[in-house]
Structure 1
Amino acid sequence: MRDRVDCIKKDGKIWLQQNLIVQTFIYNDYVKNLHQAFSRRLDEISAEFNFDLGSEFEIAICEILRSFLPIKYGICRGFVVSAEGCVAGDDIIIFDQERFPILRPNATKAFDKKEKIPIEAVYGYIEAKHTLDSQSFDKSFKQKQKVKIL
């Protein structure tokens, strides 16, 4: 979004009127194209796995993220750990792979093993749910809060 200022002549004076313009093309449609590619990839994986289990959905999201994010960002399933040894979360973590490489590198990129990532390395935590009802929402919210507290 950007601001646009229009000049209006009223009562013999020039007034500035500020209008908000929503840009339809962000970064030359990069965000829109990224969304479409993400959706197509999710559809392909959905057709293959049918997402019977939560872990399959998490692995699919990890694979999609890996194909779009720069290599600097590590992606794994696992737990966030504080320096005091407190553990929180149990889903997808995006972390600084260059400064905090995992001790057990996932050479196959299968994302089936869960890792423990130090809180200092975490860029983001994703609580992935294929279906969302009130119980799973409450559980997800609590897990996300525990990670945030770390």
Structure 2
Amino acid sequence: MNNDKWLKGVFKDVQKGLEHELHRASSGVEHAPTKGDIHEDSWIEVLRNYLPNRYGINKGIVIDSKGNKSDQIDIVIFDPQYTPMLLIQQGHKYIPAEAVYAVFECKPTFNKEYLEYAGEKSRSVRSLIRTSVSIATASGTIPPKTPHNIICGILAAKCDWAEGVKSESFNKNLPTTTNCLLDIGCSLEGGAFVSENKGIEKHQSDTNLMYFLFTLLAKLQSLGTVAAIDWKAYANILRES
């Protein structure tokens, strides 16, 4: 068998497995919050399997050094080595904004309401303050790094538009304002999309999942490492007024 055909067949099987898992979650669980948790957990498992171990992947709330916080985020991809989770309280995981590479909203389908909702979740993260300090190394001091653009996206099993991500309705309802912009997303049935310098690239096939994963890897790779966090800024929260 031709090697690329074999590899494509493997990718198709991976996508079918996730489709089956999400379908089972949608049809076998009636309680809405529980169903949502299963969707999120299924996507988190896929990302943990395919992204390098340098990335932490979890549900959480993103916070900054001024005490601001985001909405609850379905999936946060963050740096666990230099900027770990600050605390876990009553089941909620709090992650410093400086640590975040990407965030995703998980929904059952792509439609106008969910695209707008994911855009607002993106805004709640991108509006947070991120610090950056210089780093002392054996070769000298590295100046503060400008914080990168946080990748924001949406993940789903289905799509309400028959033409999927290539439909005009999808184009019209995809958030485009700076803080609400969705950079990347995947509907297992409707296709995947990614924002590039030349515009939105779209992909529709029986390997939408793998296309999404490879383009996500490319985007994460382009970010390098997160900026060094200013821990003193967080310590200032504890000062008595």
Q: Do they fold alike, i.e. is TM over 0.5? A: yes
TM-score, normalization: structure 1?
0.63
Unaligned runs of 5+ in 2: 30-34, 129-241
Larger radius of gyration: 1
User: Counterparts of 1:71 and 1:39 in 2: how far apart (Å)?
Assistant: 21
Aligned to 1:129: 107
Aligned to 1:46: 22
**Are positions 1:95 and 2:78 aligned together?**
yes
Contact 2:79 2:101 in 1 (8 A): yes
Relative to total residues, which structure has the larger strand share, 1 or 2?
Answer: 1
Aligned to 1:149: 127
Aligned to 1:55: 37
Name the % identity. Answer: 29
Mapping 1:21-32, distance limit 5 Å: none
Residues 48 and 136 (structure 1), Cα distance of their counterparts in 2 relative to 1, 3 Å cut: closer
User: Counterparts of 1:35 and 1:116 in 2: how far apart (Å)?
Assistant: 34
Shift of 1:92: 0.5
Contact 2:85 2:95 in 1 (8 A): yes
Deviations along 1:19-71, one digit per CA (max 9) or x if unpaired, are xxxxxxxxx89x96885465234124225433752221111110110111111
Contact 1:38 1:64 in 2 (8 A): no
Structure 1: 4+ residue segments shifted above 4 A: 31-35
**Are positions 1:76 and 2:58 aligned together?**
yes
Aligned amino acid, residue 67 of structure 1: N
User: Counterparts of 1:82 and 1:34 in 2: how far apart (Å)?
Assistant: 41
Aligned amino acid, residue 43 of structure 2: I
Residues 119 and 48 (structure 1), Cα distance of their counterparts in 2 relative to 1, 3 Å cut: same
Could you say what the CA RMSD is over the residues aligned between the two structures, in angstroms?
2.8
TM-score, normalization: structure 2?
0.41
